[in-house]
Amino acid sequence: MLDRVQTRTLTLSVMTVLLLFHLAAFACIWHEARPGMLSSAAMIVFLFLNLPILAKHFLRQYNFLFWLFYGCLVLSLLHYLFNREVSVYVSAHKGTLMTVFSYLILPPLFFYPVGNAVAAMTEERWRALLEKVVFVSVGCIVTGILLYVTMIPAYVDYLFNTFQNSRSLLGRMSGYLGNSMLMGVICSTTLPLAFGLKRRFWVRALLMAVCLMGSILTLQRGSWAASAMMLLFLMGHSLRHRTFLKGLFRPKSLAMVGLAIALLGGTLLANFDKLDPVFTFMNHAMLNQNITSSTALFSERQSQWARIEGNLGDYPMGMGIGMLSHVTALQGYRRAIPDGNYLRILGELGPLGLIAFLGMLVGGILLAFRTGLPYVGFALLAYAAQAVGTNVFDFYYASFVFWLLLGFVYARAGRRATASRSMPG
């Protein structure tokens, strides 16, 4: 177990990185604050400050799949030196490697070991930390909804600048992060974590209602599907113990849910003029692509599947971490795959990298349920589902929480297995 000083140091490290990112992102509405650079710098500082604690828990055999995945990631950097297409591209785009380091290389290196160490806290302490993470996420969603409703001039200017003057995207709730996809991921993955808090049911119902409201307002179909799936799973899981319906039909819970529904309806009606261009845009896209079935989320990615075939045909061992991500997509790179995380990993790290990642992800979900952490398992499942059509593991903050949860689950399962083997008899 971590002592009190170590626990406080680790908690302070996690919350400083998360809050620094959100505060800097919020400040971007008025002035460019570089939240990614600031949070990356903080991660590096806290990585060294906590190195003795992190190394003690990270160098355990239960992290084998992470080592394998991260080893594939590190080795893929050789493409930057020896793959002519990659080296020519990077030479022409000087900031690529630094951006890839910030988005894809550093977050797992910091947050996965931190998650390992968090598992060594007392149950009271690690639950308190996860609760803080949930409240940070819910605060981000609430602020995003308020900005969406008020549309203060500075925020509108910020969105137009972020969206490159595309008015059709104004109807999506993007928050101060300026990205409705990221907001959608935060909403759907926070939903099960909020339900798992050790709080009164009406408090959890309110937090879940905020997550659902945010998910709906993002107009992201992946978030809608993941949120609906989470809600059904949570109801099914809770009905076994008859806790869900009992809690839901209490007066405070009904009042909170009713208030959330009323606020959502009022928000949609009050902002109908902003929503109309979005639905027009979506209908136009659906008609042009002849998408008429429930497989829309998959059929819209057909061009990316065709692209990955070409990429693997030319580079069967991958092209190097970050080369197919949204980092290069924003620069117009023809091979990029910005809307399919598994395809992106396959094209960058090759088959072994994808197998290691999938093994780690599926293993983490199963271990969460086996070790009495069903709500963490549901959150990881929400990440996994949305990764089919969105690069959820590549976003700032969303990836922070993902790697934190995954490291926590593996270390907790490993500690329990060690404890059971050491018991007499």
- DSSP, res 93: S
Q: What is the dihedral sign for C-alpha 252, 240, 132, 105?
A: negative
Residue 243 is predicted with a pLDDT of 58
The angle formed by the CA atoms of residues 130, 214 and 405, to the nearest 5 degrees, is 25
Q: Which residue has the tokens 């990316």?
A: 304
Residue 14 is predicted with a pLDDT of 97
Any idea which of 178-182, 203-207, 224-228, 277-281 has the lowest mean pLDDT?
277-281
Picking from 212, 199, 196, the residue whose alpha carbon sits closest to that of residue 252 is 199
Residue 294 is predicted with a pLDDT of 41
Whether 381 contacts 21, CB under 8 Å: no
Q: Is the pLDDT of residue 163 over 80?
A: no
Q: Is the pLDDT of residue 105 over 50?
A: yes
Distances (CA, A) of 124 to 128, 129, 203, 375: 6, 9, 19, 17
Mean pLDDT of 273-282: 52
Mean pLDDT of 356-368: 96
Q: Where are the alpha helices (DSSP H) in 28-122?
A: 35-49, 51-58, 64-75, 79-82, 84-92, 96-100, 106-118
- Residue 282: band (very low, low, confident or very high) from pLDDT cuts 50, 70, 90: very low
Q: Is the pLDDT of residue 102 over 70?
A: yes
Q: What is the dihedral sign for C-alpha 148, 149, 153, 154?
A: negative
Residue 270 is predicted with a pLDDT of 60
Q: Is the pLDDT of residue 177 over 90?
A: yes
Q: What residues contact residue 16 under an 8 Å CB cut-off, 6+ apart?
A: 42, 46
Q: Which residue has the higher pLDDT, 201 or 38?
A: 38
Mean pLDDT of 252-275: 63
Q: Is the pLDDT of residue 410 over 80?
A: yes
Distances (CA, A) of 89 to 78, 330, 343: 14, 14, 21
Residues 383-415 as b/e (b if ≥16 CB within 10 A, e otherwise) read bbbbbbbbbbbbbbbbbbbbbbbbbbbbbbbbb
Whether 356 contacts 350, CB under 8 Å: no
How far is 214 from 145, CA to CA, in rounded Å?
A: 7
How far is 14 from 115, CA to CA, in rounded Å?
A: 10
Q: Which residue has the tokens 């990881």?
A: 380
* DSSP string of 294-309, one letter each residue: TTHHHHTTHHHHHHHH
Residue 266 is predicted with a pLDDT of 65
Q: What residues contact residue 42 under an 8 Å CB cut-off, 6+ apart?
A: 16, 17, 20
- Residue ranges per domain, the chain? 1-118+306-425, 125-292
Does the global pTM surpass 0.95? no
Q: Report the percentage of the chain scoring pLDDT > 90.
A: 56
Any idea which of 205-214, 256-265, 386-395 has the lowest mean pLDDT?
256-265
Mean pLDDT of 148-174: 81
Residue 143 is predicted with a pLDDT of 96
Averaged confidence pLDDT in the chain: 85
Q: Is the pLDDT of residue 84 over 90?
A: yes
How far is 175 from 178, CA to CA, in rounded Å?
A: 6
How far is 211 from 197, CA to CA, in rounded Å?
A: 14
How far is 306 from 295, CA to CA, in rounded Å?
A: 17
Mean pLDDT of 60-68: 95
pLDDT digits (tens, 9 = 90+) for 286-333: 444 443 434 444 555 666 777 788 888 888 899 999 999 988 988 888
Mean pLDDT of 122-139: 96
Residue 214 is predicted with a pLDDT of 93
Any idea which of 30-34, 160-164, 287-291 has the lowest mean pLDDT?
287-291
Residue 281 is predicted with a pLDDT of 46
How far is 226 from 88, CA to CA, in rounded Å?
A: 39
Q: Is the pLDDT of residue 409 over 60?
A: yes
Q: Is 316 helix (H, G, I), strand (E, B) or coil?
A: coil
Q: Which residue has the higher pLDDT, 406 or 420?
A: 406
Distances (CA, A) of 174 to 44, 146, 193, 269: 28, 11, 21, 18
Mean pLDDT of 237-257: 61
Mean pLDDT of 183-188: 96
3-state DSSP helix/strand/coil % of the chain, to nearest 5: 80, 0, 20
The pair of structure tokens assigned to 311 is 């990429």
Residue 54 is predicted with a pLDDT of 93
Residue 204 backbone phi and psi in degrees, to 5: -65, -40
Residue 417's CB: how many other CB atoms inside 10 A?
13
Residue 104 is predicted with a pLDDT of 95
Residue 199 is predicted with a pLDDT of 87
Residue 331 is predicted with a pLDDT of 85
- Residue 234: band (very low, low, confident or very high) from pLDDT cuts 50, 70, 90: confident
How far is 179 from 384, CA to CA, in rounded Å?
A: 19
Q: CA gyration radius for the chain?
A: 22
Mean pLDDT of 24-45: 93
- Residue 236: band (very low, low, confident or very high) from pLDDT cuts 50, 70, 90: confident
Residue 125 backbone phi and psi in degrees, to 5: -75, -45
Q: Is 337 helix (H, G, I), strand (E, B) or coil?
A: coil
Q: Is the pLDDT of residue 227 over 50?
A: yes
Amino acid at 274: K
